[in-house]
């Protein structure tokens, strides 16, 4: 379909080149054709087929030369000289990929008639427009991925209708969201490659600019109610299937755009279903959660594995795409979750059958994309063979599944589509050529007419092959030979010395130096027969092929259903393999009533971190529903990992996967929220305090008692007083008002006091031990709060003079004041009656504590020395080391360091200049936002300044 209007905006490389437009009337026919096509596709860079190349001219040529790194040449004719750059058609995909990556829409103007047959100018037409969100070329798409173009329309009620389509597979869906935050969340989850925008569509910035989408401004007409409904009606009954006008407009617009990019083929028949869902039909993960849980993208430096990498053991592209969808949209319906778990469970048990299934699945081609090509009429003979090859494994899959009851639902959906398989098997040769018009595609005995033509051709050739012997015999010329060339066709060649023996019926065709070539009337006749038959056979083959393709395309929906079944089976096999190889267990779910909820995980592991760690320390999680766990502990002790592993365990369970733990009893969550404090979210780029707070606001609005909230160092982007105040108020609100189960890792020790004041707030901490000079993190969660003054203890052990250490203690006390714990080094961890220290596996224990001693308190001064005598009182104790000194602070607001009084700690007379320097430095120190160790270091530096 042609939109008949232009898609904005134009760049200099797109639209009609001004130098040509100026002399429109003088241009050669070819260039004026080019100009016309540019005018019709103003938003796109037109690539114009000239023989074996796609050429671009003028500004477009410059863009192509730059982006594709090809030579910029010139085309000269009577009207002028035009810059020109071309890419070889045979090898176009890598160049096209570069252009699309550089955010060009590329319109491919192919020669649509045979150049030899054409009289005058060859007819050309734009056969497709390639854009990031509508690519269908297999070479330009990563295998097993989804690729969406999306659109969003604001409704009169203030919500938004959202729709997306994957043009390569025909997947299409719509949904509605209530507000802007919902829109942003949904788009981040869909992660389209391209978003259509009209002037009045809301601006949504991708949460992650690096992986965000390309915005395509389209004519607002596309979003008009009438136009949209018109387009939609070819697919569904718009009134019945879609809920709101905004949904209809969004969906109509993406479909119209998708049609436009696929050339003039009209309706995309393989978009056979438009799925409609509500956000709450899935476990909702907003962009921040998708990001910080590293489901699909690793945020770390030198990016490593993601959760998806860990769970993807799929054998086929179909399985991989299905797993992606599952992970993007975990389930919330317990029955559906259990059904998937049953399948995974059965496949974990049936390991032999699983291997068999995976062997079969590995031979499955990407049916979803194949069927798209078949339906668009762009499938090659090889594509049909790929479909046939995939269908041929189906009976084996069915047989393997036969004995496994839990997999009956999968088996029933495996439709072998025998008629289609037989049709292709009977029609298309096993290894067809890439060209469809040169014969060799259709098998013998598929079509009687074709067979007859091929017989005529074959018999003719046979006759010619025998002609040589016959003519030698007849003429007695032993050197006589029969040959063929492109220009003259068949000939009989006789060397000069034998010319006198040439019979009368020979007519001369060609004279060479040493010989002459002849034909006979019969040879001529045979030749016509052979070539006539061959030509008709070739075009008949093409016709037959197209018929077969159309017949297969008629089964699009059944093939799509089969594709879904294969995909889900493969995804389930993948999860089972991960479970079996990774020692996962099947999670149990609570029955869902409000107070039976809670998260109970025994020996839980982080599915990704455990694969990168020599030894991973398993941890329990025991949170009743609505409980808030405040998690303290030094940097690098394992807080973030622990919180994420709890969330990932819940999430895995809800996609129907086993989980990395010894036992898990879980609730069905409605949403997972994660908020990572500004200073922790290094890779985030725009992590300002404002953003942190606005994200927090979202939680405060949206979390329910079925939600899981992870707060990692939230409130860090501001001064301690504010930060603690916000952290505390947030915690209280989540606990008192929302009742969401929450894990809060914080360095605000003041927060740990909440546990005393509120029933459902508990403290947990992570700690470390020291052996000699080595500090080892135990990575083990334990009840109670961490001490506030671990930094000072570390400093003392590092040999900082007693005076400094003592002074530092009093600084901590006075600076933290009421915000921090009252007894800095002597306080007991806040006791939790229901918590006993976790039992640790012996191996991880022996690694950290040589003598096997177990230390769960974090009050080093209360430990008695057992080993190390020259370091009084801190032998192999568990200690908390201070936050890393590199803790970045952008600015240090002027604040008083010691509340105005400084003890002169030295007896020497002071040099006034250095005193001033120290005083100035002191004024600019923001003790409130420093870790104790940082305070200590600063103190030590300043003191040495005075001593010099």
Of Mg ion, ligand ADP, none, which one sits near residue 741, judging by CB under 5 to 8 A according to partner kind?
A: none
Q: How many residues bind ligand ADP (CB under 6 A)?
A: 15
Cα–Cα distance list, 165 to 107, 271, 275, 405 (Å):
20, 9, 10, 35
**Taking the complex as a whole, how short is the minimal distance between the CB of residue 605 and ligand ADP, in angstroms?**
7
Residue closer to ligand ADP by CB (options 676, 797) is: 676
**Does the protein bind ligand ADP through residue 637 (CB under 6 A)?**
yes
Per CB under 5 A, which of residues 227..246 are in contact with Mg ion? none
Return the residue matching tokens 């006979």.
520
Cβ neighbours, 10 Å, residue 495: 14
Residue span binding ligand ADP (CB under 6 A) among the ranges 231-239, 385-393, 628-636, 885-893: 628-636
Residue closer to Mg ion by CB (options 170, 634) is: 634
Q: Fill in the per-residue mask, 771 to 810: x = in contact with ligand ADP (CB under 6 A), - = not in contact.
A: --------x-------------------------------
Residue from 635, 687, 730, 731 that binds ligand ADP (CB under 6 A)? 635
DSSP SS3 for 266: coil
Residue closer to ligand ADP by CB (options 132, 633) is: 633
Residue closer to ligand ADP by CB (options 117, 842) is: 842
**Taking the complex as a whole, how short is the minimal distance between the CB of residue 638 and Mg ion, in angstroms?**
8
Residue from 288, 617, 699, 797 that binds ligand ADP (CB under 6 A)? 617
**Taking the complex as a whole, how short is the minimal distance between the CB of residue 432 and ligand ADP, in angstroms?**
52
Cβ neighbours, 10 Å, residue 190: 19
| All residues at 6 or more sequence positions from 509 whose CB lies less than 8 Å from its CB, including other chains | 488, 491, 517, 518, 519
Indicate the pairing of strand 194-197 with strand 214-217. parallel
Name which of 471, 458, 455 is nearest 522 in CA terms. Answer: 471
**Taking the complex as a whole, how short is the minimal distance between the CB of residue 639 and Mg ion, in angstroms?**
5
Residue closer to ligand ADP by CB (options 439, 677) is: 677
Residue span binding ligand ADP (CB under 6 A) among the ranges 612-620, 652-660, 858-866, 919-927: 612-620
| All residues at 6 or more sequence positions from 60 whose CB lies less than 8 Å from its CB, including other chains | 13, 14, 17, 38, 45, 46
Cα–Cα distance list, 146 to 366, 570, 838 (Å):
12, 16, 43
Q: Which residue's CB atom is positioned nearest to Mg ion?
A: 640
Per CB under 6 A, which of residues 742..761 are in contact with ligand ADP? none
Residue span binding ligand ADP (CB under 6 A) among the ranges 389-397, 553-561, 611-619, 733-741: 611-619
Tell me how far the alpha carbon of residue 107 is from its chain's centroid.
Answer: 26
Q: What does the alpha-carbon distance between residue 449 and residue 436 come to, in Å, rounded to a whole number?
A: 18
Q: Which ranges in 630-719 belong to alpha helices (H)?
A: 639-654, 689-702
Tokens of 385: 């063979």
| All residues at 6 or more sequence positions from 902 whose CB lies less than 8 Å from its CB, including other chains | 922
| All residues at 6 or more sequence positions from 41 whose CB lies less than 8 Å from its CB, including other chains | 14, 107, 126, 129
Q: What distance, in Å, lies between the first and last C-alpha atoms of the chain?
A: 83
Q: What does the alpha-carbon distance between residue 316 and residue 5 come to, in Å, rounded to a whole number?
A: 41
**Taking the complex as a whole, how short is the minimal distance between the CB of residue 632 and ligand ADP, in angstroms?**
9
Return the residue matching tokens 């329910």.
704
Residue closer to ligand ADP by CB (options 66, 299) is: 299
**Does the protein bind ligand ADP through residue 603 (CB under 6 A)?**
no
**Taking the complex as a whole, how short is the minimal distance between the CB of residue 636 and Mg ion, in angstroms?**
8
**Taking the complex as a whole, how short is the minimal distance between the CB of residue 601 and ligand ADP, in angstroms?**
13
**Taking the complex as a whole, how short is the minimal distance between the CB of residue 637 and Mg ion, in angstroms?**
9
**Taking the complex as a whole, how short is the minimal distance between the CB of residue 643 and ligand ADP, in angstroms?**
8
**Taking the complex as a whole, how short is the minimal distance between the CB of residue 619 and ligand ADP, in angstroms?**
6
**Taking the complex as a whole, how short is the minimal distance between the CB of residue 948 and Mg ion, in angstroms?**
38
**Taking the complex as a whole, how short is the minimal distance between the CB of residue 638 and ligand ADP, in angstroms?**
3
Three-state secondary structure of 685-698: CCCCHHHHHHHHHH
Of Mg ion, ligand ADP, none, which one sits near residue 641, judging by CB under 5 to 8 A according to partner kind?
A: ligand ADP
Of Mg ion, ligand ADP, none, which one sits near residue 131, judging by CB under 5 to 8 A according to partner kind?
A: none
Per CB under 6 A, which of residues 758..777 are in contact with ligand ADP? 766
Give backbone dihedrals phi and psi of 195, rounded to 5 degrees, phi first.
-125, 125
Residue closer to Mg ion by CB (options 168, 640) is: 640
Q: How many residues bind Mg ion (CB under 5 A)?
A: 1
**Does the protein bind Mg ion through residue 640 (CB under 5 A)?**
yes
Residue closer to Mg ion by CB (options 519, 616) is: 616
Name which of 778, 744, 727 is nearest 881 in CA terms. Answer: 778
Q: What is the CA radius of gyration of the chain?
A: 37
Cβ neighbourhood burial of 763 (10 Å; 0-12, 13-18, 19+): buried
Taken in order 95, 98, 99, 100, the sign of the CA dihedral is positive
Of Mg ion, ligand ADP, none, which one sits near residue 351, judging by CB under 5 to 8 A according to partner kind?
A: none
Tell me how far the alpha carbon of residue 1 is from its chain's centroid.
Answer: 30
Q: Which ranges in 293-333 belong to alpha helices (H)?
A: 307-311, 317-328
Q: Fill in the per-residue mask, 640 to 659: x = in contact with ligand ADP (CB under 6 A), - = not in contact.
A: xx------------------
Residue from 54, 326, 545, 616 that binds ligand ADP (CB under 6 A)? 616
Q: Are 792 and 861 in contact (CB under 8 A)?
A: no
Cβ neighbours, 10 Å, residue 511: 9
Q: What does the alpha-carbon distance between residue 718 and residue 352 come to, in Å, rounded to a whole number?
A: 57
How would you classify residue 636: left for phi > 0, otherwise alpha for psi between -120 and 50, otherwise beta?
left
Residue closer to ligand ADP by CB (options 491, 766) is: 766
Residue closer to Mg ion by CB (options 587, 638) is: 638
**Taking the complex as a whole, how short is the minimal distance between the CB of residue 734 and ligand ADP, in angstroms?**
20
**Does the protein bind ligand ADP through residue 609 (CB under 6 A)?**
yes
Residue span binding ligand ADP (CB under 6 A) among the ranges 636-644, 648-656, 730-738, 757-765: 636-644
Q: Are 2 and 264 in contact (CB under 8 A)?
A: yes
Q: What does the alpha-carbon distance between residue 696 and residue 926 come to, in Å, rounded to a whole number?
A: 25
Of Mg ion, ligand ADP, none, which one sits near residue 636, judging by CB under 5 to 8 A according to partner kind?
A: ligand ADP
Tokens of 270: 């393989």
Of ligand ADP, Mg ion, none, which one sits near residue 637, judging by CB under 5 to 8 A according to partner kind?
A: ligand ADP
Residue from 41, 321, 329, 639 that binds ligand ADP (CB under 6 A)? 639
Residue closer to Mg ion by CB (options 12, 612) is: 612
Residue closer to ligand ADP by CB (options 137, 305) is: 305
Indicate the pairing of strand 515-519 with strand 507-511. antiparallel
Give backbone dihedrals phi and psi of 50, rounded to 5 degrees, phi first.
-130, 100
Residue span binding Mg ion (CB under 5 A) among the ranges 16-24, 82-90, 617-625, 636-644: 636-644
How would you classify residue 184: left for phi > 0, otherwise alpha for psi between -120 and 50, otherwise beta?
alpha
**Taking the complex as a whole, how short is the minimal distance between the CB of residue 842 and ligand ADP, in angstroms?**
15
Question: DSSP state, 601?
Answer: E
**Taking the complex as a whole, how short is the minimal distance between the CB of residue 669 and ligand ADP, in angstroms?**
21
**Does the protein bind ligand ADP through residue 633 (CB under 6 A)?**
yes
Half-sphere exposure of 843 (CA within 13 A, CB side): 5
Residue from 638, 667, 791, 932 that binds ligand ADP (CB under 6 A)? 638
Question: Which H helix or E strand runs over 388?
Answer: helix 381-401
**Taking the complex as a whole, how short is the minimal distance between the CB of residue 640 and ligand ADP, in angstroms?**
3
Residue span binding ligand ADP (CB under 6 A) among the ranges 405-413, 415-423, 634-642, 666-674: 634-642
- Site residues (CB under 6 A) for ligand ADP? 609, 613, 616-617, 619, 633, 635-641, 766, 779
* Residue numbers at the binding site for Mg ion (CB under 5 A): 640
């Amino acid at each position: 379909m042609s939109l008949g209007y232009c898609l904005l905006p134009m760049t200099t490389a797109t639209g009609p080149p001004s130098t040509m437009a100026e002399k429109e009337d003088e241009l050669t026919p070819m260039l004026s054709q080019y100009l016309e096509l540019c005018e019709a596709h103003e938003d796109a860079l037109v690539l114009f087929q000239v023989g074996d190349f796609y050429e671009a001219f003028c500004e477009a040529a410059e863009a192509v030369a730059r982006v594709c790194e090809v030579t910029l040449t010139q085309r000269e004719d009577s009207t002028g000289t035009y810059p020109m750059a071309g890419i070889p058609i045979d090898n176009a995909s890598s160049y096209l990929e570069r252009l699309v990556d550089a955010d060009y829409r590329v319109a491919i103007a192919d020669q649509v008639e045979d150049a030899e047959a054409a009289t005058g100018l060859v007819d050309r037409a734009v056969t497709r427009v390639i854009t990031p969100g509508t690519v269908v070329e297999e070479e330009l798409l990563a295998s097993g991925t989804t690729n969406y173009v999306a659109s969003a329309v604001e409704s009169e009620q203030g919500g938004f209708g959202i729709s997306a389509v994957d043009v390569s597979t025909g997947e299409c869906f719509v949904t509605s969201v209530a507000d802007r935050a919902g829109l942003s969340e949904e788009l981040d989850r869909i992660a389209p490659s391209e978003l259509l925008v009209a002037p009045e569509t809301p601006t949504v910035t991708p949460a992650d600019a690096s992986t965000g989408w390309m915005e395509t401004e389209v004519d607002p007409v596309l979003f008009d109610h009438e136009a949209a409904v018109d387009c939609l009606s070819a697919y569904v009954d718009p009134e019945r299937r879609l809920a709101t006008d905004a949904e209809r407009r969004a969906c109509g617009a993406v479909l119209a755009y998708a049609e436009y990019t696929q050339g003039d083929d009209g309706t995309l028949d393989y978009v056979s279903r438009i799925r409609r869902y509500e956000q709450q039909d899935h476990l909702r993960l907003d962009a921040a959660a998708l990001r910080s849980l590293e489901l699909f993208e690793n945020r770390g430096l030198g990016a490593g594995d993601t959760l998806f990498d860990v769970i993807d053991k799929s054998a086929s592209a179909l399985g991989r795409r299905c797993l992606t969808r599952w992970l993007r949209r975990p389930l919330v319906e317990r029955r559906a979750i259990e059904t998937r778990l049953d399948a995974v469970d059965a496949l974990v048990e049936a390991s032999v059958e699983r291997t068999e299934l995976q062997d079969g699945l590995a031979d499955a081609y990407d049916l979803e994309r194949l069927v798209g090509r078949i339906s668009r009429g762009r499938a090659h003979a090889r594509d049909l063979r790929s479909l046939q090859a995939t269908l041929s494994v189906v009976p084996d899959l069915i047989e393997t599944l036969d004995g496994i009851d839990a997999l009956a639902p999968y088996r029933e959906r495996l439709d072998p589509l025998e008629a289609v398989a037989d049709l292709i098997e009977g029609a298309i040769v096993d290894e067809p050529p890439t060209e469809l018009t040169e014969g060799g595609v259709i098998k013998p005995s598929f079509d009687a007419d074709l067979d007859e033509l091929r017989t005529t051709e074959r018999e003719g050739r046979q006759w010619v092959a025998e002609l040589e012997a016959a003519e030698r015999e007849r003429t007695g010329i032993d050197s006589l030979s029969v040959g063929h060339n492109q220009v003259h066709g068949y000939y009989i060649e006789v060397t000069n010395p034998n010319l006198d023996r040439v019979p009368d019926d020979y007519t001369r065709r060609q004279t060479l130096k040493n010989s002459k070539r002849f034909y006979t009337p019969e040879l001529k006749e045979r030749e016509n027969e052979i070539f006539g038959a061959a030509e008709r056979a070739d075009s008949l083959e093409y016709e037959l092929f197209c018929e077969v393709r159309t017949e297969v395309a008629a089964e699009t929906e059944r093939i799509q259903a089969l594709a879904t079944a294969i995909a889900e089976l493969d995804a389930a096999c993948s999860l089972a393999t991960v479970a079996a190889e990774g020692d996962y267990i099947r999670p149990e779910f609570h029955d869902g009533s409000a107070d039976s909820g809670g998260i109970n995980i025994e020996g839980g592991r982080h599915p990704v971190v455990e694969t990168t760690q020599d030894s991973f320390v398993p941890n329990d999680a025991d949170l009743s529903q609505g409980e808030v766990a405040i998690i303290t502990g030094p940097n690098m002790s394992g807080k973030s990992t622990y919180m994420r592993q709890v969330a990932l365990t819940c999430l895995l369970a809800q996609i129907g996967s086993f989980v990395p733990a010894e036992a898990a009893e879980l609730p069905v969550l409605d949403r997972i929220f994660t908020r990572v404090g500004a200073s922790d979210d290094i890779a985030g780029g725009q992590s300002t305090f404002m953003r942190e707070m606005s994200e927090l606001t979202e939680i405060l609005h949206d979390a329910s008692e079925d939600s899981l909230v992870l707060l990692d160092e939230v409130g860090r982007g501001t001064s301690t007083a504010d930060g603690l105040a916000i952290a505390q108020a947030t915690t209280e609100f989540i606990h008192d008002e929302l009742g969401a189960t929450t894990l809060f890792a914080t360095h605000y020790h003041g927060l740990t006091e909440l546990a005393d004041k509120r029933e459902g707030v508990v403290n947990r901490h992570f700690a470390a031990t020291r052996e000699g000079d080595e500090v080892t993190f135990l990575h083990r969660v334990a009840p109670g709060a961490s001490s506030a003054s671990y930094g000072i203890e570390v400093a003392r052990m590092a040999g900082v003079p007693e005076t400094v250490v003592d002074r530092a203690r009093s600084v901590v006390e006075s600076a933290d004041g009421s915000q921090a714990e009252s007894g800095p080094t002597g306080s007991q961890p806040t006791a939790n009656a229901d918590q006993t220290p976790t039992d640790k596996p012996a191996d991880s224990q022996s690694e950290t504590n040589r003598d096997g001693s177990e230390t769960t308190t974090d009050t080093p001064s209360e430990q008695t020395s057992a080993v190390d005598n020259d370091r009084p009182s801190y032998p192999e104790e568990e200690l908390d080391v201070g936050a890393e000194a590199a803790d970045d602070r952008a600015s240090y607001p002027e604040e008083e360091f010691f509340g105005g009084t400084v003890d002169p700690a030295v007896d020497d007379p002071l040099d006034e200049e250095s005193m001033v320097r120290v005083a100035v430095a002191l004024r600019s120190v923001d003790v409130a936002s420093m870790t104790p160790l940082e305070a200590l270091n600063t103190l030590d530096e300043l003191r040495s300044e005075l001593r010099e």
